[in-house]
Structure 1
Amino acid sequence: MNSVTGETAAPRAVRVLLCDDHAVVRAGLLALLDSAPGVEVVGEAGTGEEALALSAKLRPDVVLMDLQLGAGIDGVETTRRLAAGPGGGPRVLVLTTYDTDADVTRAIGAGATGYLLKAERPEELFAAIHAAAQGRTTLSAPVAGRVLAGLRSPRPTLTDRERDILAQLSRGLGNRDIAKALHISEATVKTHLGRIYGKLGVDTRAGAVAVAKERRLLP
């Protein structure tokens, strides 16, 4: 409270750093957040490396982070490094068009406070920024659904040998070539494939590779 006027001071605006590799997207966000109550954009970065440097310099409360950043480190690795910074670093709110299980899991695992899709309404974004600044998690509805589904159906655990076979499958090798490459018998390859199919919930080689890529199960 102001001791002279008796009025309560307005709360400090949430300081936000934008990180997106598309200049047009950053310009749009900048214009949008200019109208957001209690939000101040203090900088913008086009790469993960630039975001790390600017964060250290500007000390934002929240970094609005895209996942795909072109050349250099991606949004997940940038998030991980920010979260590992002094004092836990700034809060990271992911804002992206990607909502696959793998992307959500990697981002949250790296330390993201929230995960929003770019299709959200502006009001949802504004609320998520304030929530992130306070350390509260906000997830877009589709993302929240995926997280709950993942909790109900845990990520499959593959053995090292099963991962090796998946890697060979992704190269398009047949059972005989896989057996030669890994110095095992074709019968052993078939046995492992049966277990892999069961764990991934598929019944074809192509399906196994597709699911493995989506869930980042390949080496």
Structure 2
Amino acid sequence: MADNDAPIRLALVDDHRMLLGALTEWIRSAAMDIRMVLAVTTWPELLTSPEFPVDVVLLDLDLKDGIPVSLKISTLKTAGVKTVVMSTYSEPNVVREALGAGALGYLVKSEDADMIVEAIRAARRGEQYISAELDLAINSGDVGGVPKLSAQERRVMALYGGGEPVKSVAYQLGISEETAKSYLKRIREKYRVAGYDVGTKVALRKRAIADGILIQDDSPQLM
């Protein structure tokens, strides 16, 4: 596998050529730490490419080739490749199947491009990243419980709840200010569905302390 300081070698598999082209160009121009080495429309093209294995595969769930997504994900995992799955829909059972098979990310295709990039980076770190919309769908029974936050969401909540402005949060985590705002939006939405209003910075800070993400001496728990 590539060194963590090296560019992320990414492969994209999607049978919608327009989306394939658009994502390829956007990632190449906007994410300097990601190198798109392969963009193909079928599963066999991925496996037979001389560029394979890569670091991360962004995989379209809807390839309609009759091959179970669980088999694809386990094949990639065996090859040491991290998988982020994309789909046009968010049926909870399908989400659970993909995650159960070892996918580290699951996104709907309507997700902001910035967040797709963050999902790729999270997968490279071995961290799970699920679209906020999908997380709410698969954990809809968790109302009243503590929302499931990703490692990066916990870092954002710790820093922001600890008093840092959004710009500083973004700088410390090496992400854009817009991406930091997107994380805060996701965090607030997850807590809203769980029955907690963290719409203000004060409310978010209190919740971070209550959930052990922040301790009262203002020191964020970034683990």
TM-score by length of 1: 0.58
Give the CA deviation at 1:59.
Answer: 2.1
Matched residue type, 1:78: K
SS class of match (1:93): strand
Verify: 1:17 aligned to 2:11, yes or no: yes
Where does residue 52 of structure 1 map in the other structure? 47
Q: Across the two proteins, how many residue pairs are aligned to each other?
A: 139
Where does residue 116 of structure 2 map in the other structure? 125
Task: Tell me if structure 1 keeps the 8 A contact 2:37–2:51.
Answer: no
RMSD: 2.1
CA distance in 1, matches of 2:70, 2:26: 24
CA distance in 2, matches of 1:90, 1:99: 23
Matched residue type, 2:76: L
Structure 2 residue aligned with 1:103, among 94, 117, 122?
A: 94
Matched residue type, 2:121: H
Verify: 1:32 aligned to 2:23, yes or no: no
Name the CA shift for 1:81/1:23 in 2 (closer, same or farther; >3 Å). Answer: same
Where does residue 43 of structure 1 map in the other structure? 38
CA distance in 1, matches of 2:55, 2:103: 13
SS class of match (2:130): coil
Matched residue type, 1:47: T
Give deviations 1:160-199, integer Å, cap 9, x for gaps: xxxxxxxxxxxxxxxxxxxxxxxxxxxxxxxxxxxxxxxx
Structure 1, gaps ≥5 residues long: 1-9, 153-219
Give the CA deviation at 1:50.
Answer: 2.3
Where does residue 107 of structure 2 map in the other structure? 116
- Runs of 4+ in structure 1 deviating by more than 6 angstroms, as ranges, are none
Name the CA shift for 1:32/1:74 in 2 (closer, same or farther; >3 Å). Answer: farther
CA distance in 2, matches of 1:45, 1:74: 18
Structure 2, gaps ≥5 residues long: 144-223
Task: Tell me if structure 2 keeps the 8 A contact 1:42–1:58.
Answer: no
The structure with more radius of gyration: 1
Task: Tell me if structure 2 keeps the 8 A contact 1:115–1:139.
Answer: yes
Name the CA shift for 1:146/1:126 in 2 (closer, same or farther; >3 Å). Answer: same
CA distance in 1, matches of 2:138, 2:66: 28
After superposition, residues 58-77 of structure 1 pair within 5 angstroms as: 58-77=52-71
